[in-house]
Amino acid sequence: MNPTASATTTVNPEPAEAQSFIARVRAALPQLPPTERRLGEFLLDFPGNLSSYAAAEIAKLTGVSNATVTRFIRRLGYESYEDARRHARAQGDKGSPLFLAAAAAQGAPTADVIATHLRQASDNLSVTIGQISAAQLDAIAKALIAARQLLFVGYRQNRNFAAYLRWQLLQALDMPSQVIPGAGETLGEYAAHLGEGDVVVVFALRRSVPVVSEFARQARQMGARLLCITDHASPAPEADWLLRVQTSAPGPLDNHAALFMLCHLIATTTLQQSGQPGRRRMAAIEASHDALDELR
């Protein structure tokens, strides 16, 4: 029997994929000896560092020995540091934004930070728009214009994106539309009345809730057409149109510049396709603004 392994009690014996890295560390923290607790607290503050640094570098950063790092990783249920590192790296694409926070970046000069973010936003725009064809945009616009009703679905940050695209399309489209679910409502209350002629626009970027995928599946089953907008790493439901946006960022918060450009392109193409009825609606809205004297 390996004496090192027998002396290290595994706090969480589940497979590495069964639980997030952060959840494993949090669960283990109360039972850890002082040096391992210090390591655990450091990784909770900056979990992305595990995927960025070798074991010896993590040990040096936290002031513990290499053996302490090894014991700590085994307590979490991983076979090796590399197993834990791969798990943390995978979660950097689809999990908590904490995995993108790097301690070293906090002292970077402001000018460098701005330049880095601008470069990343430019790259995101190039990748995202480069994957979308004019034919796709035209088909989406025609479906939106012909819809019996438009439903925009999004939870958490996705609700804001859904509301933004609806607001833009509202300028040109004259049919029932709303962001769902409303306060105190459920998606089931809308799923029961979906049918042919309806278009559902689903926003499912990073860490969307599972019910959205099931609602999307039911919507298509009942004859509605589905536009799904998500990021490059998140799972997505089957859709008539699946558009992926690049949201990479040098910090812990996703960069949504490409997402808003995509919404702008969808709305602009829809306005162009709407022809005279769309222009008349915009003129009527402007006349109402003037009559109400509500804008300056």
Say whether 117-292 and 7-106 share the same fold: no
Three-state secondary structure string covering the chain: CCHHHHHCCCCCCCCHHHCCHHHHHHHHHHHCCHHHHHHHHHHHHCCCHHHHCCHHHHHHHHCCCHHHHHHHHHHCCCCCHHHHHHHHHHHHHHCCHHHHCCHHHHHCCHHHHHHHHHHHHHHHHHHHHHCCCHHHHHHHHHHHHHCCEEEEECCCHHHHHHHHHHHHHCCCCCCCEEEECCCCCCCHHHHCCCCCCEEEEEECCCCCCHHHHHHHHHHHHCCCEEEEEEECCCCCCCCCEEEEECCCCCCCCCCCHHHHHHHHHHHHHHHHHHHHHHHHHHHHHHHHHHHHCCCC
Kindly report the CATH number that applies to the domain delimited by 7-106: 1.10.10.10
pTM as predicted: 0.67
- Per-residue pLDDT tens listing for the chain (296 residues): 333 333 455 444 444 345 677 778 888 888 899 889 888 888 776 655 676 678 888 888 888 999 999 999 999 999 998 888 888 776 654 445 554 444 444 555 587 778 888 888 998 899 899 989 999 999 999 999 999 999 999 998 999 999 999 999 998 898 899 999 988 898 988 888 899 999 999 999 987 788 888 899 999 999 999 999 998 777 788 899 999 998 887 777 888 999 999 999 999 999 999 888 878 887 888 888 788 888 77
Residue ranges per domain, the chain? Answer: 7-106, 117-292
Architecture of the domain spanning 117-292: 3-Layer(aba) Sandwich (3.40)
